[in-house]
Amino acid sequence: MSATAAGRLRIGELAELTGTTPRTIRYYEEIGLLPGGEREQGKHRSYSEDDVERVREIIRLRSLLGLSLDELSTLLEAQAARADLGRRFHQTDLEGERRVILEQALEHIQTQLALVRGRRNELEKLEQELLERRRTVRGALGDIDG
């Protein structure tokens, strides 16, 4: 049996699973991006599977879309707030309010999709140029051989 508490991860394990470093995890906690790993009966931080997902999300949005950590925390806070409200309204069934929340969520998703597509277009242009260069080089190699 593992000696670690059931399903809990240490900071080094979380770092490895997300392809980053313990220092980065601590930094994200320091600036309030991560909800500070619980210190269970010791001084060591301990994390859950949800934390793995959150760190992955942070890294993905930061490196793929080039968002600053400041922009990211705004974005993630808004997402969390909506999820929270969404859950409450789901219970109380206030349909008018639920619609407002859902429409806000939709808008945020559209914004992110626009960002993703802009990046993808740039990447595709770069790929086309590289393919073009490759064709040229291959042609020159063919001339030597032919």
Partner DNA sequence: TTGCTCCTCACGTCACGTGAGGTGGC
CA distance 82 to 67: 20
Q: Is 134 in the site for DNA (CB under 7 A)?
A: no
64: contact with a copy of itself by CB under 8 A: yes
Dist. CA 40–CA 79, nearest whole Å: 28
Note whether 123 binds a copy of itself by CB under 8 A. yes
Partner in contact with 88, chosen from a copy of itself, DNA, none, beta carbon below 5 to 8 Å by kind: none
What is d(CA 115, CA 16) in angstroms, rounded to the nearest whole number? 28
Rounded to the nearest whole angstrom, what is the least distance from the CB of residue 10 to a copy of itself in the complex?
27
Check binding of 63 to a copy of itself (CB under 8 A).
Answer: yes
Please answer whether residues 27 and 20 qualify as being in contact, where contact means their C-beta atoms are separated by less than 8 angstroms.
no
Q: Which of 3, 6, 140, 144 binds DNA (CB under 7 A)?
A: 3
**What's the DSSP call for residue 47?**
B
CB of 26 to DNA, least distance (A): 6
CB of 117 to a copy of itself, least distance (A): 7
Amino acid at 82: R
Please state, in angstroms and rounded to a whole number, the distance separating the CA atoms of residues 108 and 89: 19
Q: Collapsing DSSP states into helix, strand and coil, what is residue 67? A: coil
Partner in contact with 22, chosen from a copy of itself, DNA, none, beta carbon below 5 to 8 Å by kind:
DNA
* Residue 13 sits in the site that holds DNA (CB under 7 A): yes
Residue 126's binding partner out of a copy of itself, DNA, none, with CB under 5 to 8 Å set by partner kind: a copy of itself
- Tell me the Ramachandran region of residue 128: left when phi exceeds 0, alpha when psi lies from -120 to 50, beta otherwise: alpha
Q: What are the residues binding DNA (CB under 7 A)?
A: 3-4, 10-13, 21-24, 26-28, 31, 37, 41-45, 62, 68-70
